[in-house]
Amino acid sequence: MTGVDAAVSAIAFQRGIPFSVIFAWILLGENFGWRRMIGILIALAGVALIAGKPHSSTSLPHLFIILAAAVAWGLAAVQIKKLDNLGALTLTAWIALFATPQLFLLSFLVEDGQMAALGSASLIGWFSLLYAAVVASIIGYGLWYCLIAKFNVSAITPYALLSPLFGITSAVLLLGDELTTARIVGGILTLIGVAFVQSRSSKGATQEK
């Protein structure tokens, strides 16, 4: 993300949602229908407004890495769907087990001053780490995996488009960021798009017209 503007990064990573829908169609045979795709496009437009205009040049190799991560995220949703007999907490634990050594190695290769950073970390820093590990990862992703196992991937993953909306709302409330007209309109569009995705026919909660 260091070589990509924050606005571009926020928009690019959200491409994981349509990728997940496409993978679910190809690998799981889910019929997502026109309503769901239109809703995703509306929500993506809202995310673009929330993110705002890029303020710096973007490196194409860095952008490619973010897009690759979005593709991997979309494919992971389908893989998790196929593991519906595995408990959410068990799945979270296995993901952490495999990810930890990779992250340690990556940190060793590209970063320095880790021990000094640990020694000088503030109380807010440790609280943020605890929140990310327990609330965002264990609780948040645990619930996410439960939903993916129970419902169609194309019905659940569009909810991830709400992340930028919650992010900018938190930034406004906690960090004093400016609440612009574009961000308000973007938030409204995102909500409309997700609501459009979730509109259902009378045939059932997991089927599309």
Q: Render pLDDT for 124-146 as a digit per residue (tens, 0 to 9).
A: 999 999 998 899 888 988 888 88
Residue 206: pLDDT band (50, 70, 90) is very low
Residue 158 CA to residue 193 CA, distance in Å, equals 9
Percent of the residues in the chain that have a pLDDT greater than 70, as a whole number: 89
**Average pLDDT value for residue range 32-59:** 76
Q: How far is CA 51 from the centre of its chain?
A: 14
The structure tokens listed for 115 are 């021990």
pTM greater than 0.85: no
157, 104 in Cβ contact below 8 A? no
Q: Is the pLDDT of residue 2 over 80?
A: no
Does 206 map to a domain?
Answer: no
76, 99 in Cβ contact below 8 A? no
**Average pLDDT value for residue range 167-174:** 80
Does 202 map to a domain?
Answer: no
The structure tokens listed for 112 are 């320095």
Does 209 map to a domain?
Answer: no
Q: Is the pLDDT of residue 37 over 60?
A: yes
Percent of the residues in the chain that have a pLDDT greater than 90, as a whole number: 11
Question: For position 207, what pLDDT does the model report?
Answer: 45
**Average pLDDT value for residue range 110-127:** 90
Query: How many domains does one find in the chain?
Result: 1
Q: How confident is the prediction for the chain on average, in pLDDT?
A: 81
Does 32 map to a domain?
Answer: yes
Q: Is the pLDDT of residue 148 over 50?
A: yes
Q: Is the pLDDT of residue 201 over 50?
A: no
Q: Is the pLDDT of residue 101 over 90?
A: yes
Question: For position 46, what pLDDT does the model report?
Answer: 81
What confidence tens digit (pLDDT) does each residue in 53-99 have?
766 667 888 888 888 988 998 898 888 888 867 787 888 888 889 99
Does 47 map to a domain?
Answer: yes
Residue 49: pLDDT band (50, 70, 90) is confident
* 204 backbone φψ class: left, alpha, beta (φ>0; ψ -120 to 50): left
Question: For position 102, what pLDDT does the model report?
Answer: 93
Question: For position 123, what pLDDT does the model report?
Answer: 93
Does 203 map to a domain?
Answer: no
Does 1 map to a domain?
Answer: no
CB atoms within 10 A of CB 113: 9
Containing structural domain, residue 109: 6-197
Does 129 map to a domain?
Answer: yes
Q: Is the pLDDT of residue 150 over 50?
A: yes
Please report which residue ranges of the chain form alpha helices under DSSP H: 6-13, 16-23, 33-51, 60-82, 88-110, 114-119, 123-130, 142-150, 153-156, 163-175, 181-197
